[in-house]
């Protein structure tokens, strides 16, 4: 477990799993790309911004991401939008 993971675990509210913690887009980007198979396209910050714009209801006025809530949706969205600049 790296230092960033330890920091997240320290910050997480009691009862929440690591993938349920609300994190920044930058943290989501790092975790998403690190945990995806090498054959799957890597996501960029620009793509996440576009995803958030096109799926605003997933964020409900917050600028926080959750691996539990958003990872699968980005996985489904990315192949058709991997050329987003």
CB 64 within 8 A of CB 28: no
Q: Which domain, by its residues, includes 68?
A: 22-81
Residue 70 pLDDT: 92
Residue 7 lies in a domain: no
Domain assignment present for 68 = yes
Does residue 1 sit within a domain?
no
Query: What pTM, to 2 d.p., does this model score?
Result: 0.73
Rounded CA-CA distance 6/34 in Å is 16
Environment class of 51 (CB within 10 Å of its CB; exposed 0-12, middle 13-18, buried 19+): buried
The Cα–Cα gap between 80 and 54 comes to 13
Q: What's the pLDDT score for residue 80?
A: 86
Q: How many domains does the chain have?
A: 1
Indicate whether 53 belongs to any domain. yes
Mean pLDDT of all residues in the chain?
Answer: 80
């Amino acid at each position: 477990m790296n230092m960033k993971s330890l920091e997240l675990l320290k910050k997480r509210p009691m009862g929440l799993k690591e993938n349920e913690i609300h994190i920044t887009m930058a943290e989501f980007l790092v975790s998403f790309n690190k945990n995806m198979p090498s054959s799957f396209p890597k996501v960029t910050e620009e793509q996440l911004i576009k995803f958030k714009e096109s799926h605003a209801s997933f964020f409900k006025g917050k600028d926080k991401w959750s691996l539990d809530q958003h990872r699968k949706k980005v996985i489904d969205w990315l192949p058709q939008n991997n050329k987003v600049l």
